[in-house]
Amino acid sequence: MAYEVEAPKYVRLAQTIQGRIEDGTYAPGTRVPSENQLVQAFGMSRPTVVRALELLKRDGWLESRQGYGTIVRGRPALVEHKDRRGGEALTRDESQAFGRLVEVVHVPVPARVASVLGLPKRAKVLMRRFLAEEDGEPVELVSSYFPAGLVEGTELESSALLDGSTRAHLEARKKVRFDHVTERVSARLPERSEAELLDLPDGVPVLSVLVVAYDASGQALQVSDVLLPADRQELEGTYRLN
C-alpha cells in the first residue's frame, strides 16, 4: 500500500517561490518580497517564511546581499532540490533557530554511532538533542553525537544555546575541517521519549536520517540522527540527467 504525506509548509512555500522564479515572476537580479510581504501574501507565519527562504538560499535560488536584501539568482546550474536534513543539522544556529535544546549529556555511544565513530561499544560520547518546531509544532528531533575528546574545552558541553552552528564552533575551537557528509535514511518506530517530544500517537513511525560528517581524511567528527514524523514529512529529489 502506498502512503502519501504532505510536505511541510515551509517546503511548499519554497516550491511556490521557486516556481515564480522559473516563470519569471521573480526575475534574476531583483529583490524578492520582504518577509512581512510574504507573510501577508501567503498567509503563513514568519518562521515558515524564514525557513522557506533559507532553503532556497541553500539550494542556490536566492542570495542575501548586505544592505540590499534577498536577491533572486535564478535557476542553479545543477538543480538538486532535496530536503537535505544533513546540511541543516550541521549549520543550524541554535541561538536563532525555532525550537529548543532538550538536553546535553554524556551517554554510552549507541551501537549505530559507535561503528561510525570508531569507538568501542561502552565508550561515552556527548549528545546534544535539539527539537525543531514550526508554528509551535515539533517537526524534527536532532540528536547529535560527538567523541568526548573532540568536545573537551568547547561550549558544546554547555546546556546553553550555541551562538552559531556545531560545525562552526568545532572548526573555530578545535581547528578541524568538515569536508563531506553522508546520509542514510531508514524508518522505525520511535522510542517512548522520542514519540513524546515529537507529539506522535502510538504506532506512528519516524524517518531517521543518519548524518555523518567527516574530515578530509575520512575521520568522522559528528553523527546526527535526525528524526522526522513520517505522517508529516516527505523526502524528494530532482536531478539533472547527464
Q: Max Cα separation, the chain?
A: 57
Looking at residue 91, its pLDDT comes to 86
Question: Minimal CA–CA distance to 225: which of 158, 122, 146?
Answer: 146
Identify the pLDDT of residue 200. 94
User: What mean pLDDT comes out for the span 190-215?
Assistant: 92
pLDDT at residue 145, rounded to an integer: 97
Q: How many percent of the chain have pLDDT more than 90?
A: 45
pLDDT of residue 235: 53
239 pLDDT tier (thresholds 50, 70, 90): very low
- Give the confidence band of 57 by pLDDT, cuts at 50, 70, 90: confident
Strand order in the sheet with 99-108: 99-108, 124-134, 137-147, 220-229, 206-214, 180-188
Q: How many CA atoms lie within 13 A of 57 on its CB side?
A: 15
Q: What pLDDT does residue 85 have?
A: 57
Q: What is the pLDDT of residue 82?
A: 45
Contact assessment for residue 101 and residue 121, using Cβ atoms and an 8 Å cutoff: no
- Half-sphere exposure of residue 111: CA atoms within 13 angstroms, side-chain side: 0
Rounded CA-CA distance 229/5 in Å is 10
Instruction: Decide which of 66 and 36 is more confident.
Output: 36
Say which range, 69-83, 130-144, 198-212, 218-232, has the weakest mean pLDDT: 69-83
pLDDT in tens, 159-196: 999 998 999 999 999 999 998 888 888 889 999 999 99
Taking the model in full, what pTM does it have? 0.65
3-state secondary structure 101-151: EEEEEEEECCHHHHHHHCCCCCCEEEEEEEEEEECCEEEEEEEEEEEHHHH
